[in-house]
Amino acid sequence: MKGLIENRFGLLALVLLALGALYGVAFVSRPAPAAQKPAQQVKVAVESVSMVCPDPGGGRMTAVTPLGGPSGQGGAATVAEMKGAKPLATLDQVGTLWRKDVPVRTRPVTVAGMGAMAAGLEAAQTTQVTSGAQRGLSGVRCVEPGAEAWFVGPGPAAADVTLHLANSDEAPAYVGIMIYAGEGPVLADRGNGMVVKPGEYREVKLRELAPSPLVMAVQVSTSGGRVAAAIRASLGEGKGVDWLPVSAPPSTRVVVPGLPGSAGQRELYIATPGERDTVVQVKAVLKDGSYALKNKESVEVPAGSTTTIDLTTGVGGQPGALVLTSDEPIVAGMRMTGTGDMRDAAFTAGAVPIDLGSVVADGGPGKKSAKGSGKRESRLVLSAPFTAATVRIQLLPQRGTPAEPVEVKLPAARSKEIKLTPPAGAGSGFAIHIVPVAGSGPVYGARVLSEDTPQGVLLTTQPLAPARTWAIVPATVDSPGAVLP
């Protein structure tokens, strides 16, 4: 042993042997590694929400928080004119519709909810004019402030188009406006760098920014702050008036829902805001199936421009939706008209599926409001363009007990139109709550209001939007990069 120790190579061998023994003992006795669970998205209840109704004067306002939201007590929703005016109402009853006729000179109205009244809170404004240049039935879902909004519809050369901007936040909003016309992008210095102060609202005539477009897509964006944006288009006496719904952001696949099953013109608008031309494939999803329209299977859209295609002979009189696919991101919408000597117009636009449900504050007139007027109808047009779907529909009356939910099945690649009958206690109106069941495929749709008059059919459409009941919080993981420079 002494000789081995004196030999330096032997000593090295002993050290390595000892280290190996220690490593072996540590390896055998080490604890099992903790299982690492992958980070997952979390669904959390909405606890605060606000929106702006851009121009409710002379019409009716409706607001509702649906049943079946997150459990919790307390909370309230307030309805008030902007710029610190006295509140029009304070709401604290979940599942009960609030409805009020608003005086003509009412400023934009904010609707804000906290606590249990915030989850799913919806508001809408609907206006009916029976004569003159503004004759028509028009409605819009009250707008949540944001950093970007897209609209598609007729341009200032074809209609009186007004952009409504409202800032209900405490910080200024720096707004830019971009218009994509048939001839390409339209830039206007007056529409860029606009500052909307806290509590301020503006009406911008788009004719002053771009007078020539017959059709257009409009991008409203902010470089700081948030703004609630809405656009109203008046096509002239006897041609109709309505609000352009907010379109889904540019995508290579766009679903345009809510084509009513009534006669009238159907004109599709498609815009490609990017720098490359594209060919858009058009497919209709109707009650009897999904297919390309003969001689209208595709349309070429030059880069940075908006184009139209008349689909009256393809989808006129049939409830349904359109599925548009392209290589470049697009936005899309549709103009629909009623029939008669004086025609009204309604608009729909690209939408997202209502995976977490949808709420329509103005579901339609009640039994009492139909007296002394023409025949009024409220319909849902629902589409399952890809896979089969099932939804539950519940009507929420102005007074009384909400109706029991009704289950509706939608076969794959089919659309269905559902006539809504006012529930008991509906008074002068009711709201609609739509929830896909577990395992349902994507559902798109719209609520259609119409009224027959001696001069012609009045018409307005509201595409279904995801309810503000739940928010999906992205997955998070620990990372030193969050604090390292």
Tens digit of each residue's pLDDT (9 = 90 or more) over 278-329: 999 999 999 999 999 888 999 999 999 999 999 999 898 899 999 999 999 9
Query: Quick count: other Cβ atoms within 10 Å of Cβ 11?
Result: 12
The answer to which of 14-18, 63-67, 412-416 has the lowest mean pLDDT is 14-18
Residue-wise pLDDT tens digits, 80-112: 999 766 788 999 999 999 999 999 888 999 999
φ, ψ dihedrals at 22, nearest 5°: -65, -40
Q: Is the pLDDT of residue 69 over 90?
A: no
Q: Which pLDDT value is given to residue 36? A: 56
Q: Is the pLDDT of residue 435 over 70?
A: yes
**Rounded-to-integer distance, Cα 132 and Cα 118, Å:** 39
CA 214 to chain centre: 25
Q: Is the pLDDT of residue 15 over 70?
A: no
- pLDDT score recorded for residue 52: 97
Reported as type and span, the H/E element at residue 299 is strand 298-301
Tell me which long-range contacts 280-283 makes (C-beta under 8 A, separation of at least 24).
280/324, 280/325, 280/326, 280/330, 281/324, 281/325, 281/326, 282/309, 282/311, 282/322, 282/323, 282/324, 283/322, 283/323, 283/324, 283/325
Distance, in Å, from the CA atom of 157 to the CA atom of 241, rounded to the nearest integer, reads 15
pLDDT surpassing 90 at residue 460: yes
pLDDT the model gives residue 371: 43
Mean pLDDT of 338-346: 91
Q: How confident is the model at residue 74, as a pLDDT?
A: 73
pLDDT in tens, 205-248: 999 999 999 999 999 999 999 999 999 999 998 899 999 999 99
Q: Are 456 and 339 in contact (CB under 8 A)?
A: yes
Note the pLDDT tens digit of each residue in 27-45: 556 666 555 566 667 767 7
Distance CA 127, CA 53 (A): 12
What is the pLDDT at residue 121? 96
Can you read off the two tokens belonging to residue 472? 């999906």
Question: What is the pLDDT at residue 72?
Answer: 60
Assigned token pair, 436 = 């896909």
The answer to whether the beta carbons of residues 436 and 383 sit under 8 Å apart is: no
Q: Round to whole Å and give the CA distance between 278 and 262.
A: 31
Average pLDDT over residues 447-456: 93
Q: Across all residues in the chain, what is the average pLDDT?
A: 88
Instruction: Record the tokens describing residue 413, joined without a space.
Output: 């690649």
**pLDDT tens-digit profile of 364-407?**
987 654 444 578 899 999 999 999 999 999 999 988 888 899 99
